Amino acid sequence: MNTKRKIAFGSDHAGIDLKKPIMDYVKSLGFEIHDFGTYDHNRTDYPIYGKKVAEAVAKGEYDLGIIMCGTGIGIGMAANKVPGIRCASVSEPYSAKLSREHNNANILSLGSRVVGPELAKLIVDEFLGTEFIGGRHQRRIDMLTAEDEHNDVKFEEVKNGSEEKYNHYNYNEGKNIL
Protein backbone atom coordinates (compact mmCIF):
# COMPACT_ATOMS: atom_id res chain seq x y z
CA MET A 1 0.00 0.00 0.00
CA ASN A 2 1.40 3.37 -0.98
CA THR A 3 1.91 5.65 2.01
CA LYS A 4 1.43 8.81 -0.03
CA ARG A 5 -2.21 9.62 0.55
CA LYS A 6 -2.79 13.33 -0.19
CA ILE A 7 -2.83 14.25 -3.84
CA ALA A 8 -2.99 17.81 -5.24
CA PHE A 9 -4.61 18.36 -8.63
CA GLY A 10 -4.47 21.25 -11.06
CA SER A 11 -5.04 22.00 -14.71
CA ASP A 12 -5.65 24.77 -17.19
CA HIS A 13 -8.81 24.92 -19.33
CA ALA A 14 -7.38 22.39 -21.80
CA GLY A 15 -6.67 19.85 -19.08
CA ILE A 16 -9.93 20.09 -17.20
CA ASP A 17 -11.82 17.37 -19.06
CA LEU A 18 -9.11 14.86 -18.16
CA LYS A 19 -8.74 16.15 -14.61
CA LYS A 20 -12.34 15.40 -13.61
CA PRO A 21 -12.36 11.64 -14.34
CA ILE A 22 -8.85 11.21 -12.94
CA MET A 23 -9.74 13.01 -9.72
CA ASP A 24 -12.78 10.74 -9.35
CA TYR A 25 -10.61 7.70 -10.02
CA VAL A 26 -7.91 8.70 -7.52
CA LYS A 27 -10.58 9.45 -4.91
CA SER A 28 -12.15 6.02 -5.52
CA LEU A 29 -8.75 4.47 -4.72
CA GLY A 30 -8.96 5.99 -1.23
CA PHE A 31 -6.68 9.00 -1.65
CA GLU A 32 -7.50 12.42 -0.26
CA ILE A 33 -7.59 14.93 -3.10
CA HIS A 34 -7.74 18.68 -3.58
CA ASP A 35 -8.30 20.61 -6.81
CA PHE A 36 -6.30 23.84 -7.09
CA GLY A 37 -8.21 24.86 -10.24
CA THR A 38 -8.99 25.88 -12.84
CA TYR A 39 -12.64 25.05 -12.35
CA ASP A 40 -14.21 25.85 -15.73
CA HIS A 41 -13.46 25.96 -19.46
CA ASN A 42 -12.67 29.67 -19.64
CA ARG A 43 -9.27 30.13 -21.27
CA THR A 44 -6.55 30.67 -18.70
CA ASP A 45 -2.78 30.25 -18.22
CA TYR A 46 -1.22 26.95 -17.16
CA PRO A 47 1.66 28.52 -15.14
CA ILE A 48 -0.88 29.62 -12.50
CA TYR A 49 -2.03 26.09 -11.72
CA GLY A 50 1.33 24.38 -12.17
CA LYS A 51 2.75 26.80 -9.60
CA LYS A 52 -0.12 26.36 -7.14
CA VAL A 53 0.16 22.57 -7.12
CA ALA A 54 3.96 22.63 -7.08
CA GLU A 55 4.09 25.00 -4.10
CA ALA A 56 1.62 22.86 -2.14
CA VAL A 57 3.70 19.74 -2.81
CA ALA A 58 7.02 21.49 -2.12
CA LYS A 59 5.69 22.73 1.24
CA GLY A 60 4.65 19.18 2.14
CA GLU A 61 0.96 20.02 2.30
CA TYR A 62 0.36 17.29 -0.30
CA ASP A 63 2.37 14.13 -0.89
CA LEU A 64 2.15 14.13 -4.67
CA GLY A 65 0.58 16.20 -7.44
CA ILE A 66 -1.17 15.39 -10.70
CA ILE A 67 -1.52 18.20 -13.22
CA MET A 68 -2.88 18.49 -16.75
CA CYS A 69 -2.85 20.84 -19.69
CA GLY A 70 -3.30 20.16 -23.40
CA THR A 71 0.01 18.35 -23.79
CA GLY A 72 1.19 18.16 -20.18
CA ILE A 73 4.29 20.04 -21.27
CA GLY A 74 3.57 23.64 -20.32
CA ILE A 75 2.10 22.95 -16.90
CA GLY A 76 4.95 20.51 -16.22
CA MET A 77 7.50 23.19 -17.09
CA ALA A 78 5.74 25.56 -14.71
CA ALA A 79 5.79 23.02 -11.88
CA ASN A 80 9.48 22.31 -12.36
CA LYS A 81 10.30 25.99 -11.72
CA VAL A 82 9.44 25.50 -8.04
CA PRO A 83 12.42 24.33 -5.93
CA GLY A 84 12.00 20.78 -4.68
CA ILE A 85 9.70 19.75 -7.50
CA ARG A 86 10.49 16.90 -9.85
CA CYS A 87 7.61 16.85 -12.31
CA ALA A 88 7.45 14.12 -14.95
CA SER A 89 5.45 14.80 -18.14
CA VAL A 90 4.64 11.33 -19.44
CA SER A 91 2.15 9.65 -21.77
CA GLU A 92 2.56 5.96 -21.01
CA PRO A 93 2.75 3.80 -17.86
CA TYR A 94 6.40 2.67 -18.11
CA SER A 95 7.75 6.21 -17.82
CA ALA A 96 5.34 6.93 -14.98
CA LYS A 97 6.68 3.92 -13.08
CA LEU A 98 10.33 4.83 -13.70
CA SER A 99 9.67 8.47 -12.82
CA ARG A 100 8.93 7.25 -9.29
CA GLU A 101 11.48 4.41 -9.03
CA HIS A 102 14.47 6.35 -10.40
CA ASN A 103 13.59 10.04 -10.33
CA ASN A 104 11.44 10.22 -7.20
CA ALA A 105 9.04 12.37 -9.21
CA ASN A 106 6.62 14.19 -6.94
CA ILE A 107 4.32 15.52 -9.65
CA LEU A 108 2.88 13.77 -12.69
CA SER A 109 1.91 15.85 -15.69
CA LEU A 110 -0.54 14.58 -18.31
CA GLY A 111 -1.78 15.94 -21.63
CA SER A 112 -5.51 15.80 -22.19
CA ARG A 113 -4.95 16.09 -25.94
CA VAL A 114 -2.44 13.23 -25.81
CA VAL A 115 -3.93 10.55 -23.57
CA GLY A 116 -7.52 9.52 -22.94
CA PRO A 117 -8.94 8.85 -19.47
CA GLU A 118 -8.42 5.08 -19.56
CA LEU A 119 -4.75 5.29 -20.50
CA ALA A 120 -4.35 8.10 -17.98
CA LYS A 121 -5.69 5.79 -15.25
CA LEU A 122 -3.03 3.18 -16.08
CA ILE A 123 -0.37 5.90 -15.93
CA VAL A 124 -1.73 7.13 -12.60
CA ASP A 125 -1.77 3.56 -11.22
CA GLU A 126 1.99 3.32 -11.83
CA PHE A 127 2.69 6.79 -10.50
CA LEU A 128 0.75 6.30 -7.25
CA GLY A 129 1.66 2.65 -6.80
CA THR A 130 5.44 2.85 -7.20
CA GLU A 131 8.02 3.89 -4.61
CA PHE A 132 11.45 5.49 -5.12
CA ILE A 133 14.13 2.81 -4.89
CA GLY A 134 16.99 5.06 -3.72
CA GLY A 135 20.51 3.61 -3.97
CA ARG A 136 22.52 5.17 -6.78
CA HIS A 137 19.46 7.18 -7.75
CA GLN A 138 19.56 9.09 -4.45
CA ARG A 139 22.83 10.78 -5.43
CA ARG A 140 21.23 12.08 -8.62
CA ILE A 141 18.26 13.42 -6.69
CA ASP A 142 20.71 15.08 -4.30
CA MET A 143 22.36 16.73 -7.31
CA LEU A 144 19.01 18.10 -8.45
CA THR A 145 18.34 19.33 -4.92
CA ALA A 146 21.75 21.04 -4.84
CA GLU A 147 20.74 22.93 -8.00
CA ASP A 148 17.56 24.04 -6.23
CA GLU A 149 19.38 25.23 -3.13
CA HIS A 150 22.58 26.82 -4.48
CA ASN A 151 23.26 29.01 -7.49
CA ASP A 152 26.86 28.03 -8.21
CA VAL A 153 26.70 24.26 -8.42
CA LYS A 154 29.39 22.55 -10.46
CA PHE A 155 29.05 18.85 -11.01
CA GLU A 156 32.02 16.51 -10.86
CA GLU A 157 31.88 13.81 -13.50
CA VAL A 158 31.74 10.36 -11.95
CA LYS A 159 31.65 7.18 -13.98
CA ASN A 160 30.85 3.71 -12.67
CA GLY A 161 30.93 4.86 -9.04
CA SER A 162 30.13 2.17 -6.51
CA GLU A 163 26.76 2.37 -4.80
CA GLU A 164 28.43 2.83 -1.40
CA LYS A 165 30.95 5.49 -2.34
CA TYR A 166 28.61 7.55 -4.44
CA ASN A 167 25.40 6.98 -2.59
CA HIS A 168 25.05 10.57 -1.48
CA TYR A 169 26.01 13.79 -3.13
CA ASN A 170 26.99 16.59 -0.78
CA TYR A 171 27.16 20.23 -1.67
CA ASN A 172 29.51 22.27 0.50
CA GLU A 173 30.56 25.90 -0.05
CA GLY A 174 30.67 25.65 -3.80
CA LYS A 175 32.69 22.44 -3.83
CA ASN A 176 31.21 19.08 -4.63
CA ILE A 177 32.17 16.29 -2.29
CA LEU A 178 31.33 12.86 -3.57
Catalytic residues: 69, 102
| Contact by Cβ (8 Å): 52, 37 | yes
Count the residues of the shown chain that bind ligand RB5, applying the rule CB under 6 A. Answer: 8
Spatial CA neighbour of 107 closest among 77, 125, 85: 85
- Please report whether residue 74 would count as binding ligand RB5 according to CB under 6 A: yes
List the one residue from 46, 49, 62, 171 that touches ligand RB5 (CB under 6 A): 46
Q: Is 10 in the site for ligand RB5 (CB under 6 A)?
A: no
70 belongs to the binding site for ligand RB5 (CB under 6 A): yes
89 binds ligand RB5 (CB under 6 A): no
User: Per CB under 6 A, does 50 bind ligand RB5?
Assistant: no
Residue 43 vs 159, nearer CB to ligand RB5: 43
Contact residues toward ligand RB5 (CB under 6 A) are 12, 14, 46, 69-71, 73-74
